[in-house]
Amino acid sequence: MSVIMPIVIGLICVCLLSLIPEPHRRQVNAVLVGGAGAAYLSGGGLGYWEFVLPVVMTYVAYRGLDSWTWIGAGWLLHTAWDVLHHLQGNPILPFSALSSFGCAICDPVVALWCFAGGPSILRWLRARKPAAPQA
Spell 103-113 as b/e; 16+ CB within 10 A means b: bbbbbbbbbeb
pTM of the model: 0.87
pLDDT of residue 50: 84
Residue 22 lies in a domain: yes
Exposure on the CB side of residue 77, measured as CA atoms within 13 A: 24
The tens place of each residue's pLDDT in the chain, 135 residues long, gives 689 999 999 999 999 999 999 889 999 999 999 999 888 787 767 788 888 889 999 999 999 999 999 999 999 999 999 998 888 888 888 788 888 899 999 999 999 999 999 998 888 777 777 766 676
Residue 33 lies in a domain: yes
CB 78 within 8 A of CB 36: yes
C-alpha span between 85 and 71 (Å, rounded): 21
Helix/strand/coil for 35: helix
Residue 73 lies in a domain: yes
Per DSSP, 93 falls in state S
- 52-64 helix and 24-36 helix, angle to the nearest 10 degrees: 170
Residue 101 lies in a domain: yes
| Total domains present in the chain | 1
Residue 123 lies in a domain: no
pLDDT of residue 40: 79
Residue 36 lies in a domain: yes
Domain that holds residue 76: 3-117
pLDDT of residue 131: 65
Residue 111 lies in a domain: yes
Sequence-ordered list of residues with C-beta below 8 angstroms from that of 34, at least 6 positions apart, any chain:
57, 58, 60, 61, 62, 64, 74
pLDDT of residue 1: 62
CA angle 87, 90, 95 (to 5 degrees): 125
Residue 128 lies in a domain: no
